Amino acid sequence: MTMTSEFTGADPAPAAARESGVRHLISVADLDREAMLGIFHLADAFKEVAERPIPRVPALRGKTVATLFFEPSTRTRLSFEAAAKRLSADVMSFSASTSSLEKGESLRDTIETIDAMGVDAMVVRHKSSGVPSQVRAWTKASVVNGGDGQHEHPTQALLDCYTIREALADRVPAGGAGPEDLRGLRIAIVGDVRHSRVARSDVLAMTALGAEVVLVGPRTLLPPSLEGWPVKATADLDDVMGSLDVIYLLRIQKERAQAALLPSLEEYHRRFGLTRERAAHLDPRVLVMHPGPMNRGVEIAPEAAELPSSLITRQVRNGVLIRMAVLFHLLGAGGPLPVAPGHSDSGPAGEGRSEVGHPGEGRFDVSGSEPGQTGAGPEAGGASDA
Amino acid sequence: MRPMPEHDGGADRPALLVRGGRVIDSEGERRADVLIQGRDIVAVGTDLPAGGNGVTVLDAGECIVAPGLVDLHTHLREPGGEIAETVETGTRAAAVGGYTAVVAMPNTEPAIDNPSIVRDVLALGRSALAEVAVAAAITVGRAGTTLSPMGEIAALGVHLFTDDGRGVQDSGLMRRALEYASDLGVVLAQHCEDAGLAAGGHMHEGAWSSRLGLSGQPAVAEEAMVARDLALVRETGAPMHFLHLSTAGSVELIRRAKADGLPVTAEVTPHHLVLTDACVAGYDTAFKVNPPLRTDADVAALREALVDGVIDAVATDHAPHATEFKEEPFDLAPFGMIGLETSLAVLHTISAGDSPDGWPGGSWPLAELLASVSWRPARIAKLDRASGGRQGGPIAPGAPANLVVFDPAEIWKVDPGAMVSRSHNTPFAGMLLTGRVRHTIYEGEAIVIDQHAQR
């Protein structure tokens, strides 16, 4: 065997993590089409929970979810924490906006410290690409990528696809079934794809679900190489506008104009923005999306954000449902969904682990912070999913 | 002329007999024992008698005996970076890897840019486990604005000058540096990286950087400076050495320059001959290095260039970093990987040519491999005998006893924790390598015996 072939990067997951059976969501590529549809079905079921007077199920009672936000992000953090709480998980929060090394602690030390407190899942947000991948090696918990640098933001992509699917289902006459996936749709992702973790995840998710994706932007804002990306690319927005089902506008960071990637934000708006004129000519059936927060007047004209076909507020609402589904997918027992209507206060039907210990008690013992305690009897299974 | 290493004369040491090996040097290959007295080889021949009265015998059965290796590119980190490496620990790693001489790079803190720091490092080198030559900075503080006192530094025996870690960006300054250096008979060595094009990239710019969301350094960032410097060599006639070339385009530029007779030499690292940007897929910072790991096509071009002599030498770019700095997010972690303890084994492992990338001609002949890590770099650093130095062989009576004994059959697994370098940032952790240094003899002293450093 050659050394180069041992490093093809096909599966960079640490061997220990693979063997332990702990599930992670680092990249959309960790999920196949079936897994994504499974998450959507879970989200559908959780939608009903959200409408209850007490929007909470005991699906993850006794589990602890830590949100580790090394980069400030109020919306994503609140969305994950709301999702974890609606599943009755305990939530721990950690935030740091500076490099951990600046305060004398390495990233690894930070992760190992939190791991030692006993957590089942870590939601990691970091301004550096790859941190969630690195974190896997230093914890026994499931790692959920809450957005890493310019790499990926898988839950955003899942909620985007879920929102498109939901909007299409709304168009189906009562009694009919909405589409399972995104087959046959043509989606334009417009803007700063090069620096966008949302775009990287969306391309993977949308194409895996059958959509045709075209990236639109100046070459300076598209990835240097699209080798292996199942997409088309163009610098002419008007050329593709007439054939779209969805237009997805990415946020433009104002500093791109200073880095000689753009002459000016005004020129960007004219060439790539959903201007008032473009919005006026847009087929009303074309769905308009944006991951937020919007720069009105740059990637989108103020009027365009208010189009009836805009899904922007729906995206936010669905974020909680998708994150509930992801946490349950990673941490749940894998049995039938614990959300039978009208039984919100009863134990999780079929969760298969409601008899295990007392929620919040003893859980820290089985989470395996002591190496000697892993595999200590059947209850130890509570440390990770089956 | 450079002063001899101030090693004890070894006069009171028992004679040393390296017995039963295959001797390979620039003169060819033969089966011979090597008898050493003091700092020098006194006899080379078959079945030399052990004598009995206090001759230490080193078994070289089934092994290759070659002139000690010479590394053109070692970061010893002293002064300033002692948390990662020192002259002592770095030369210990060198000795374990079969090196009897290293060229210490000047990107220390402070930089090696004046005579007093050069003297300090050379002084530390005198008690080290391998000969320490120094490369000094081209510009003061490696800041790229003012020439360092090259004349005074050259008078101390320094032959190579480089701002390694970065390239000299100002073309006008580089031209003046080449002109000034050519008067002194010294050689400038360049880390070719156009800072504007590299734009702070953390890996090779290409399919993997695009997928991973890491900013990349394009190949042209290196090639643009190689092309500029070759134009300056053409203009000034001054010789130059090109450090750690990593792209197919750089190789083509050097190939044409050599065909035109320009006085240039070039090196490549073991890691650029083996690893690619796909290694970064898991964001393991052990693979963060500058120049970055490139593509399969670049690896193939570098191997071809080594075989046909476009690239003269393999140099490690041994760059130790403390673990806590490497256990950071990829974009915040420092560039660099260690290499002294694995380089010969890595090169030997890939030389068999059973990889899909392979070698032009099927394999890389062992004598060529050894030339690239011993006598050719010795010549480039002016540490060879023709230049008044003591490195690079050949192995003959009266020659300095700087030797490596290498077992080509031993298969071993790279264990970062078992390394003698103060740092453990190897990209080869856990890999199986074929061939291992068994003994190293430095100035007549068996400094490594059966893989163990003796001091």
Work out the average pLDDT over B216-245.
Answer: 98
Chain A residue nearest residue B355, CA to CA: A2
Q: Find chain A residues with C-beta within 8 A of B274's C-beta.
A: 3-4
pLDDT digits (tens, 9 = 90+) for B72-111: 999 999 999 999 999 999 999 999 999 999 999 999 999 9
Between B54 and B127, where is the model more confident? B127
Instruction: For residue range B166-187, list pLDDT tens digits in order.
Output: 999 999 999 999 999 999 999 9
Domains and CATH numbers, chain B: 68-382 (3.20.20.140)
CB contact under 8 A, B212 and A8: no
CA distances for A197 relative to A76, A204, A223, A276, angstroms = 14, 11, 11, 27
Q: pLDDT confidence of A104, banded at 50, 70, 90?
A: low
Alpha carbon distance B19, B22 (integer Å):
9
For chain A, residues classed under CATH 3.40.50.1370 are 13-153+317-383, 154-315
- pLDDT reading at A354 higher than 60: no
Question: Structure pTM?
Answer: 0.90
Contact B206 A99 (CB under 8 A): no
Beta strands at A142-148 and A212-216: parallel, antiparallel or unpaired: unpaired
What average pLDDT score do residues B296-322 get?
A: 96
Tell me phi and psi for residue A323, to 5 degrees: -70, -30
Residues A209-245 have pLDDT tens digits of 999 999 999 999 999 999 999 999 999 999 999 999 9
- Determine contact: A130 vs chain B, CB below 8 A: yes
- Of A338-347, B78-87, B283-292, B421-430, least confident by mean pLDDT is A338-347
User: Are A200 and B213 inside 8 Å of each other by CB?
Assistant: yes
Residue of B nearest to A131 (CA): B329
pLDDT value at residue A303: 84
Task: Using the predicted structure, report yes or no on whether residue A76 has a pLDDT greater than 70.
Answer: yes
Q: Is it true that domain A154-315 has CATH number 3.40.50.1370?
A: yes
| pLDDT given at position A75 | 87
Asked if the model's pLDDT at residue A353 lies above 80, the reply is no
Average pLDDT over residues B325-342: 96
Instruction: Answer whether CATH 3.30.9.10 is correct for domain A13-153+317-383.
Output: no
B54 CB within 8 Å of a chain A CB: no
Alpha-carbon distance A206 to nearest alpha carbon in chain B (angstroms): 16
Which chain B residues have a beta carbon less than 8 Å from that of A106? 324, 327-328
Tokens of B289: 């290095």
Say if the Cβ atoms of A128 and B299 lie within 8 Å: no
3-class DSSP state of A57: coil
Local confidence band at A178 (pLDDT 50, 70, 90 cut-offs): confident
Which pLDDT does position A361 carry in this prediction? 28
What is residue A227's predicted lDDT score, i.e. its pLDDT? 95
What per-residue confidence (pLDDT) applies to A282? 92
Provide, as residue numbers in chain B, all residues whose Cβ is less than 8 Å from the Cβ of A226: 210
Q: Quick check: A361 contacting B, CB < 8 Å?
A: no
What is the pLDDT, as a whole number, of residue A310?
A: 87
> Quick one: pLDDT band at residue A94, thresholds 50, 70, 90?
confident
* Structure confidence by residue, pLDDT tens digits, B385-443: 999 999 999 999 999 999 999 999 999 999 999 999 999 999 999 999 999 999 999 99
More confident residue, A259 or A279: A279
- Cα torsion at A280, A283, A286, A292 (round to 10°)? 0
- For residue A87, pLDDT over 70 is answered with yes
- Does the pLDDT of residue A384 top 60, yes or no? no
Q: Average pLDDT of A339-357? A: 34
Annotated active-site positions of B, please? 317
User: What percent of chain B has a predicted confidence (pLDDT) above 70?
Assistant: 96
Rounded to an integer, the average pLDDT of B15-36 is 97
Asked if A150's CB is within 8 angstroms of B283's CB, the reply is no
Predicted pLDDT of residue B8: 59
Q: What is the pLDDT of residue A308?
A: 84
Specify the pLDDT at position B33: 97
Residue A355's pLDDT band (cuts 50, 70, 90): very low
3-class DSSP string for chain B: CCCCCCCCCCCCCCCEEEEEEEEEECCEEEEEEEEEECCEEEEEECCCCCCCCCCEEEECCCCEEEECEEEEEECCCCCCCCCCCCHHHHHHHHHHCCEEEEEECCCCCCCCCCHHHHHHHHHHHHCCCCEEEEEECCEHHHCCCCECCHHHHHCCCCCEECCCCCCCCCHHHHHHHHHHHHHHCCEEEECCCCHHHHCCCCEECCHHHHHHCCCEECHHHHHHHHHHHHHHHHHHCCCEEECCCCCHHHHHHHHHHHHCCCCEEEEECCHHHCCCHHHHHHCCHHHCCCCCCCCHHHHHHHHHHHHCCCCCEECCCECCCCHHHHCCCCCCCCCCECCCCCHHHHHHHHHCCCCCCCCCCCCCCHHHHHHHHCHHHHHHCCCEHHHCCCECCCCCCCCECCEEEEEEEEEEECCHHHCCCCCCCCCCCCCEEEEEEEEEEECCEEEEECCEECC
% of chain B surpassing 90 pLDDT: 92
- Residues 241-300 in B contacting A (C-alpha not used; CB under 8 Å): 274-276, 278-285, 296, 299
Contact residues on chain A for B296, CB-CB shorter than 8 A: 4
Does residue B295 have a pLDDT over 60? Answer: yes
Whether B312 has a pLDDT exceeding 80, the answer reads: yes
Check A12 against B283: CB less than 8 A apart: yes
A227–B206 CB contact, under 8 Å:
yes
Q: Give residue A333's pLDDT.
A: 64
Task: Name the residue with tokens 């028992």.
Answer: B14
- Chain B residue with minimal CA distance to A107? B328
